[in-house]
Amino acid sequence: MKTLGVKRGDRVATLAWNNYRHLEAYFAIPLLGAVLHTVNLRLSSEHLRYIINHAEDRILLVDEELLPLLDPIWDNLPTVQHLIILGEHLNLAKSPKNPMTSVSAYEDLLAQASPMVDYDPDLPEDSLLGMCYTSATTGNPKGVVYSHRGIALHSLAMGLANTSAIAENDTVMPVVPMFHVNAWGIPFSAIWFGANIVLPGPAPTPEDLVRLMSEEQVSVAAGVPTVWLGVAKVLEKAATPLSLRMVLCGGSAAPPALIRTFEKTFKVPLAHAYGMTETSPLATFSRLKSTLSGLTEDDQLAIRSTQGILVPGLSMRLRRDNEDVPWDGKSMGELWFKGPWVADEYYHDPRTEDSFEDGWLKTGDVATISPEGYVRLVDRTKDLVKSGGEWISSVDLENTIMAHPDVFEAAVVGVPHPKWDERPLAFVVPKENRQIRKEDIIALLSADFPKWWLPDDVIFLQEIPKTSVGKFMKRALRVQYQEYLTDPQR
């Protein structure tokens, strides 16, 4: 890349699965003083075009099989000067034909280059290391930039005994894509601490993950809850001996039933953590404090199912109507964070004004915090069901539905209602060959929630739609069912 003229501060983008060349790029780009821009390969062409142009990427490193993603936009990437195909040798027949851009194969370039010893030792610690775009509710994705200082401190935080404690004797497998918040920072910390790292490659199935975890004796694996729901399905069919000391689960709420299944049935501790692109992402981590070990098993599970306590190094507030909300486990407010690995702006974006105040990040997540400091996420502001002026937590309803032994996945969304503004609808995917009735779901919820929280209907689906990083895509359900309770024909 140095030969190609990459300089300090230049943006170099990757469009790649979790593989070893991508991992090499994770280090090569920042060590040059350039900025590692990991591009989400599941974005629409329009968003791909927007973010590559907005970041003004100079070089693209692209997995060979992902090249077709660029075909529709190739003529609209004016800042890109060079394409490096992450493969063995250049196959010009397959390469995009763009006269403005020179093309090389990664391994060809490596074979011609000599080992580099002169890194940029004077790089200031606040220089940019990387950037990642996060989805916005409406409009284009928003860019978040990471500094060397922030990522170094975040990597240390991932090694703390009371977080994921990644260490030299671990074999760590990030299932979370390397284009999703730097695979939660795992590549940086795992390599720094000398752990082994297992990269699952393109679109791994739950069967692939189980095989890899078993063959490679993975000790820590990290991914969103839907990944672990899929893995649980495989393990329930065929018990496989695993060496996991921890499944790290975050990105959306880990259902308590999932934590219980992993621990009781598979004997694997499932640790729940919370964060966002803007927090690099580690912000809170759920561990049971030693002083709480006398609680009943159910109470312990309830605490471990929360999003956890603040990771050392960050500051946290709970805010509502311009005031701090008490940490009493009941009062709800918006979570705010500040700290060395928390963004304080969006990259060249006027939307910065809506989400940051005095260096604090306003997350848009509604939570309670207990006197012990455990954060319990009630909902994303945009997912809360606002029924007759009151709030209903879609997450709480989902967690209870997913505790039903015949339920595989469930999502609850608010849809317009003529009288109450919004009412909840539940979407349920039964496990294979199981039958569930609407009445069973309502009876289950009635035991835990007041009548006005109960969904107006339960709709059975084959699958809950997922976002580009595997979270439930509630927006799609909201759009599809927006007239469900207002349609007089129904």
- Closest CB to ligand ADP among residues 57, 365: 365
Residue 61 backbone phi and psi in degrees, to 5: -110, 120
Given the residues 14, 38, 134, 163, select the one marked as catalytic: 134
- Segment contacting ligand ADP by CB under 6 A, of 10-18, 74-82, 267-275, 440-448: 267-275
274 binds ligand ADP (CB under 6 A): yes
Element housing 260 (H / E): helix 256-260
Residues 6+ away with beta carbon under 8 Å from 107: 87, 88, 89
Q: Let me know: does 80 contact 58? Beta carbons within 8 Å.
A: yes
- Dihedral (CA of 201, 128, 39, 141) sign: positive
> Binding of ligand ADP at residue 226 (CB under 6 A)?
no
Our finding on whether 272 is near ligand ADP (CB under 6 A) is yes
Q: Give the nearer residue to ligand ADP in terms of CB position, either 40 or 171.
A: 40
Between 11 and 180, CB nearer to ligand ADP: 180
Do 205 and 182 touch, CB atoms closer than 8 A?
Answer: no
DSSP string, 415-474: EEETTTEEEEEEEEEEPTT----HHHHHHHHHTTS-GGGS-SEEEE-S---B-TTS-B-H
Closer of 289 and 382 to ligand ADP (Cβ) = 382
Amino acid (one-letter) located at 269: P
Positions in 169-208 near ligand ADP (CB under 6 A) = none
Instruction: Please report which helix (H) or strand (E) contains residue 252, including its range.
Output: none
- Asked about 134 being catalytic, the answer comes back as yes
Query: Judged by CB under 6 A, how many residues of this single chain contact ligand ADP?
Result: 17
With contacts defined by CB under 6 A, name the span among 250-258, 367-375, 409-417, 424-432 that binds ligand ADP: 250-258
Q: Select which of 192, 207, 381, 391 is catalytic.
A: 391
Beta-carbon contacts of 366 under 8 Å, excluding residues fewer than 6 positions away, are 332, 333, 334, 335, 377, 378, 379, 380, 381, 384, 391
Binding of ligand ADP at residue 251 (CB under 6 A)?
A: yes
Measured CA to CA, the distance from residue 220 to residue 165 in angstroms comes to 10
Q: Is 184 a catalytic residue?
A: no
With H, G, I as helix, E, B as strand and everything else as coil, classify residue 270: strand
CB 382 → ligand ADP: shortest distance, Å?
A: 9
Which one from 386, 431, 438, 466 is the annotated catalytic residue?
386
Nearer to ligand ADP, 212 or 246 (CB): 246
Can 386 be counted among the known catalytic residues? yes
> What residues numbered 289-318 form the site for ligand ADP, per CB under 6 A?
307
- Does 337 help bind ligand ADP (rule: CB under 6 A)? no
Q: Under 8 Å CB-to-CB from 173, ≥6 apart: which residues?
A: 197, 198, 199, 200, 209, 212, 213, 216, 218, 220, 221, 222
Q: Angle at CA 287, nearest 5°, toward 286 and 290?
A: 150
Using CB under 6 A as the binding rule, whether residue 154 contacts ligand ADP is answered as: no
471 sits near ligand ADP (criterion: CB under 6 A): yes
277 binds ligand ADP (CB under 6 A): yes
State the nearest-atom distance from the C-beta of 308 to ligand ADP, in Å.
8
Q: For ligand ADP, what does the binding mask look like between residues 118 and 147, x meaning CB under 6 A? A: ----------------xx------------
Q: Which of 317, 338, 362, 380 binds ligand ADP (CB under 6 A)?
A: 380
Pairing mode, strands 35-38 and 11-15:
parallel
Active site residue 289: no
Catalytic residues: 134, 278, 386, 391
Residues lying near ligand ADP in the complex (CB under 6 A)? 134-135, 250-253, 272, 274-277, 307, 363, 365, 377, 380, 471
